[in-house]
Chains A and B, each alone.
Chain A
């Protein structure tokens, strides 16, 4: 028992974060998505995760809240090991998180208001409904959607759904908010409003944020620290300037959005193929 306890305290050096990943490996079948990742998310800071599509960013943030369990390695939240807890114990931990899913994951049988108050209804005794209405109004106003209270997700556009999902993620004023691509699918102005929202939560409520994004403008704006993921490893880690001047060619390519030579070669090849003519089929 005592021995176990000792093992649960992260080794010195890794213990300075709210969430700490230690040597995380994650495989889906033969496909190794995360390869021995160690990472400490600092309290009150905004950490941005960038990387090419399909490199495992979503998988990584899901490990931070243990929606996925690692094949090996440990996850610590406030110095307590959480990757080996039961779902019921985890649920208590998870109330301190907000998670914005990449696809929004709104409940389509519930209205916008019901979506936003879902976590409140589950965890708090609501005595004053006016207060709750005020809260929903305030959260929706933050994402520019006040007045949409009684709509259903099916009637909203993709970007609007994303914003409602964001309002839901921050409904309980969580200490840690994980945003999976919060600005994807939004127009540039709305994206910037979301950036401001992330900054505001950090400044005013001291929220610890992890933002997954492809949008470098947004990354530079909100990040205290940027991490680049590539082939299951962290290949760059530092503040915005560090990343801008990073010597690694893959990092430079990614942040400048340059196509690499191999991809170009493939495109040139397929140019020839697409000239091939297919005879139209006769329709009787």
Chain B
């Protein structure tokens, strides 16, 4: 029993170590990729595959989040006669937390799954070894462009999710519940600061890198066979999901500290 626990701990630490090394190699490879223009076409291809096709799902996610928020909160606010403040509530929630997190979760499923399956299949059919045998670093050829693409695109996709969330919330509040249009927007504008939007989008960089790194790692270390690839995909999704939530919490703490230190200075300039 205790021996088992020890074995699991050692296994876990080993795994973390390997993942750490993988991330380090990927990071250096990604920086090198930025410096070599002929790799841009690889990034561009990945951006098309990863980004363009994710736009619809991310927009649908955003729209439903906004609409649901409106439906759920209207009752409480209306009881207090504060229904005109609905806009602030919805838009802050969407822009700061729900848009980024849910868009990232959607991407972890859609993009992360595809990345793990693709690289996992390449791994079990020896295509990754083939890249090595031809004197090319597979991390540089396969992982770096994918990480760069996710890094650049996740924030953009989050903006889409935010926009649709705002539109969805607006439609339900103003069209269905008949809140005054003018009041809805003016409260929103005064309540949502540029800072809120910025941190929401900035989280995208972190989420994107986390999703790509975890998914690629799981693909690279995937076990033989169809079952192995399937398992790697599941593990990649679960790990990405937890990582997104943990990162979100950590970033909330960090951004809060930054905000309380620096934002008051804005009034000085």
Q: Which residues of A contact B (CB under 8 A)?
A: 65, 67, 87-88, 91-95, 97, 99, 101, 103, 105-109, 118-119, 122-123, 172
Contact = CB atoms under 8 A, between A and B. Distances in A.
Given A95-B135, A99-B130, 6 more contacts: A91-B135, A92-B135, A105-B127, A107-B130, A122-B134, A172-B134
Contact count band on B = 10 to 19
A187 B118 CA distance: 32
Contacts of A97: 133, 135
A113 to B, nearest CB: 16
B53 interface: no
B256 interface: no
Nearest to A95: B135
Contact of A94 (B122, B125, B126, B132): B132
Contacts of A108: 125, 127
Contacts of B68: none
A172 to B, nearest CB: 8
B134 A101 contact: no
Contacts of A123: 135-136
Contacts of B122: 107
B134 A105 contact: no
Q: Is the interface of B mostly helix, strand, loop or mixed?
A: helix
B134 A95 contact: yes
Nearest to B45: A109
Contact of A65 (B125, B127, B133): B133
Contact of A87 (B127, B132, B134): B132
Contacts, number: 54
Nearest to B136: A122
B129 interface: yes
B18 to A, nearest CB: 14
Contacts of B132: 67, 87, 91, 94
B186 interface: no
Interface in B111-149: 118, 122, 125-127, 129-130, 132-137, 141
Q: Which has the most chain A C-beta neighbours within 10 Å: B132, B133, B141?
A: B133
A101 B135 contact: no
B137 A87 contact: yes
A28 B54 CA distance: 41
A119 B129 contact: no
Contacts of B134: 94-95, 99, 118-119, 122, 172
A129 to B, nearest CB: 15
A170 to B, nearest CB: 12
A172 B136 CA distance: 13
Contacts of B125: 103, 105, 108
A94 B135 contact: yes
A123 B141 CA distance: 12
